Structure 1
Amino acid sequence: MAMAEKYIVLPFKRVRGGLAPGEMRAASTAAGAEKVAAAMAPRHIGVAAYAVQVDMESGDMSSPRLLVQFGQIGDLAA
């Protein structure tokens, strides 16, 4: 099982009963993910950039680590 650290940006939108993640965007570096999140922030209720561990064989993501957040974000574990 080969693991690699990847960087993703998730915008959040308001839905009945709370917040839901929008379309995930990938970034090549942690700094890049933070810049993308900052650029998206004015257009969303919340945006978060994460570093995640990805199993390169299955594509499964785990161990999200919050890099930066703007506004309100939802719980990824929910």
Structure 2
Amino acid sequence: MSLSEKFIVLPFKKNRGNIVPGEMRQASSAASAEKIATAMSARHLGVAAYSIQVDEESGDMTSPKLIIAYGETADLTVN
């Protein structure tokens, strides 16, 4: 198992009364993820940037760590 750190930004929206994640965007660094999340925050109900560990062989994501969040977000649940 080969783990690498990745950075993602998730916008959140309401769907049938629940807050759900939208389309995930990758970032090149924690600073870049924070910048993207800040820029997206005015257009979405909520936005959060995370660092995650990705198993390069299986693609499984684990150990999400919140970098920054704006507005209403939901817990990030990964394997």
Provide the TM-score with structure 1 as the length reference. Answer: 0.96
CA distance in 2, matches of 1:53, 1:12: 21
Q: After the TM superposition, which parts of structure 1 deviate over 2 Å for at least 4 consecutive aligned residues?
A: none
Q: How many residues align?
A: 78
Once the two structures are superposed, what CA deviation does each residue of 1:12-40 show, in whole Å capped at 9, x if it has no partner? 00111310000000000000000000000
Gaps of 5+ in 1: none
In the aligned structure 2, how far is the partner of 1:48 from the partner of 1:34? 8
Percentage of matched positions with identical amino acids:
60
Structure-2 residue corresponding to 1:24: 24
What value does the CA root-mean-square deviation take over the aligned residues? Answer: 1.2
Q: If the length of structure 2 is used for normalisation, what is the TM-score? A: 0.94
Q: Deviations over 1:39-63 (max 9, x none)?
A: 0000000000000000011111011
